[in-house]
């Protein structure tokens, strides 16, 4: 699939098996979300541009490259996206952070927007959008639209679990957005939950059920 990068690694499969298990504790679930997010962020930044600089080692001066962290912004979709934030911030600690608040209407299954705040000059930054689950793609596409309305030109979407329906929706509406996912699952069920999935990521991260 164009612009879709699925992590294929034994370590990811191992961590996902624990993450999916309904007996996994809230503490361990949070830790695993963070760990997988670190690996996703590592993959998503493989093509990032570096600035040329000169430093001095204890031995000699040398020319090298360094990431300008001000060029990046992480934007979690509330509330579940917050579970991924600690992981990606540990990789790029000086990146700016925005927030997009959305929830899913239980009758229509459509996303409802209630909060949107992003850093200044967001249009000049590469934005990494965070949400553990890409199900219908409704929330993701709405979030991408909000970012583009602010002039953002380069967006990547990071998720732990994705469904084919959500991937297709992003590809149809925003073919320029790259998707990084730990695993592409089978489908959505009649309640629009990912199968086999891992349940409600927000509830499991925050222990609300």
Q: Does residue 55 lie within any of the structural domains?
A: no
Q: In the prediction, which pLDDT does 103 show?
A: 75
For the whole model, what pTM was predicted? 0.91
Q: Does residue 60 lie within any of the structural domains?
A: no
CATH number of domain containing 171: 3.40.50.2020
What's the domain range around 181?
4-49+67-206
pLDDT in tens, 162-176: 999 999 999 999 999
CA distances from 203 to 22, 79, 80, 81, 87 (A): 12, 9, 8, 12, 19
Pairing mode, strands 194-195 and 187-188:
antiparallel
Q: How many domains does the chain have?
A: 1
Q: In the prediction, which pLDDT does 1 show?
A: 67
Q: Region 67-87: what's the mean pLDDT?
A: 94
Q: Does residue 148 lie within any of the structural domains?
A: yes
Confidence class of residue 107 from pLDDT cuts 50, 70 and 90? confident
Q: What tokens does 157 get?
A: 């979407």
Q: Does residue 14 lie within any of the structural domains?
A: yes
Q: How many CA atoms lie within 13 A of 42 on its CB side?
A: 10
- The alpha carbon of residue 163 and the mean position of all alpha carbons in its chain are separated, in whole angstroms, by 14
**Residues noted as catalytic:** 104, 108, 200, 203
Distance from C-alpha of 26 to C-alpha of 31, rounded to nearest angstrom: 9
């Amino acid at each position: 699939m164009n612009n879709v990068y699925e992590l294929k690694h034994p370590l990811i499969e191992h961590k996902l098996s624990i993450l999916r298990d309904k007996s996994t504790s809230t503490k361990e679930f949070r830790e695993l979300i963070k760990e997988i997010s670190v690996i996703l962020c590592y993959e998503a930044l493989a093509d990032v541009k570096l600035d040329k600089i000169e430093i001095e080692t204890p031995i000699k001066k040398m020319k090298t490259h360094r990431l300008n962290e001000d060029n990046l912004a992480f934007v979690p979709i509330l509330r579940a996206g917050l579970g991924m934030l600690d992981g990606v911030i540990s990789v790029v600690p000086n990146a700016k952070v925005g927030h997009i608040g959305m929830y899913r209407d239980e009758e229509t299954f459509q996303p409802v927007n209630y909060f949107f705040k992003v850093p200044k000059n967001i249009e000049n930054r590469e934005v990494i959008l965070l949400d553990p689950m890409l199900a219908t793609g409704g929330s993701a596409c709405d979030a991408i639209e909000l970012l583009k309305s602010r002039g953002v030109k380069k967006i990547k979407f990071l998720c732990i679990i994705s469904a084919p329906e959500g991937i297709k929706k992003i590809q149809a509406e925003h073919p320029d957005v790259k998707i990084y996912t730990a695993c592409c699952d089978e489908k959505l069920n009649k309640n629009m939950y990912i199968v086999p999935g891992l349940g409600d990521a927000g509830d499991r991260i925050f222990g609300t059920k």
